[in-house]
Structure 1
Amino acid sequence: MCRVLIASPVETDRAFLKQIFAEHFFNVTFLEDALSAEEAYKRSLDNRLDMLILDISGSSDEIFQYKTNIVKQYPNIKVILLDKKANFKHIQTAIRCAAIDYIVKPLDEDECKSAIHRAILALNQVSLLHYERKSITNTVKESANQMMQYVHEYFNEEINLETLARFMHLNKSYVSRFFKETVGMTFSSYLRHYRIEQAKKLLRTSELTITEVAEEVGYPDLTYFSRIFKKETNYTPNEFKQIFQGEHIPADFAFVEGE
């Protein structure tokens, strides 16, 4: 589940962004909208955040300080900044604080989709932006979210369509068809993608051995894990670990420590 907070005084911008989420992204929950960076900070005190979309139009140092305080609480948060016009100082700050994107208004749908897509991937989740699916209602989407939450909670266990069907109290064939039509990929594909994303995260950020990583993400057979990982990433797990370990710096971390 990706917990998102949109902080902007402009109601039409907030509605525009939520519509993009509703049409193109799954497994997202919103905190109550904030009208300012200060409100966003207050929301963050009682609620964990994964993604912050913050309007910095006409911003002062105070706004950036509130954002910095949020990042100190959640070093892995992904931040997208909105601005009413291009501002070199703001762009420079966005780069220094490792924001996912800096978007100048008026908001463009494709630009916003791309930024959100990259933020979700940076959280080691599956975006689904580029997977075709049928038009769905909110009720159907809620059922799909429930199924994906099942994957997120039990991905490191021995789960499959049968266990998912039992969890949902539904027929296995129906669940298989529903998942593919609604999410845009099969259940097994989603499970595999999610497991590999979690493996990539562990390989980058932990000291676990390859065998331990494989077990942590639900692949007790190391040979099978290595084959799947290579197919998904074009790297063996060992190659990935050697190249990318320690590369990931949590959003804003270096900038925050320098404040």
Structure 2
Amino acid sequence: MKTILIVDDEPRTRLGIQKTLVAWSAGRHRIESAASGVQALEWLETNTAHIIITDVRMPEVDGLQMLERLSMWGPLPVVIVISGYAEFEYAKKSLQLGVFEYILKPLDKSILIDAVQRAFELDSGRERLDAMEKLVDRKLLEVGRDEARYATAIKDAISYIYAHLHEPISMKQVAELLHLNASYFSVLFKEQTGVTFSDYLTRRRLQKAKELLVTTRIPIWEIAEKVGYQTDKYFIKVFKDNEGTSPSQYRHQVLDTEQSIQ
């Protein structure tokens, strides 16, 4: 469930926006509110907002100051600024902060809802882009780019891994196939590729898993088998440890093509 945070020191406006969005959302989204920029920042320390709707003029910390502080914590969520003043400096500063929409009071409900719908579209687009960027393992790209200069044994090891991802693979096993001492092979692999054998194998398995997640609808347990994991539970743990999200969440982020909120 995604969250909208409304920040406005005027109770009537704040409650009016909240009531409108609660009715529109019909329980699909979490609608929160804060009576000041200070209160909003305190709430955001332990909570996540996907969309922020904030007034400009507020005591202590105004809307733009709040956004400036929030931007120091990381990328801003999608922001809609509301103001009772058509002042150029407010609009200019909003643009500089990357604010999505600037709406003047008194608020028209249809304009507000339209802005929120478009804000959710942008938020979903950001999530899909982030997930797609994670699809490619840059370290694997580096290894592949330099493969031509590797020793024959390392090239053969990489080829073997790629062809047998669905099988149990150990470094000792691959070293024996190449007629090399396991310790020597371990040092040579790390020296030439820049990553350990174990790290490369995990990256290659997860790369294949991500490709299957976004190009097929086969279940998670079957993907786990196809990339060499004996149980889906362990596969999910490894995937989450490395990617920061579960395989099903990753698939949802990339494949969710919903373009509007009905």
Q: With structure 2 as the length reference, what TM-score do the two structures score? A: 0.49
Which structure would you say has the larger Rg? 2
Q: With structure 1 as the length reference, what TM-score do the two structures score? A: 0.49
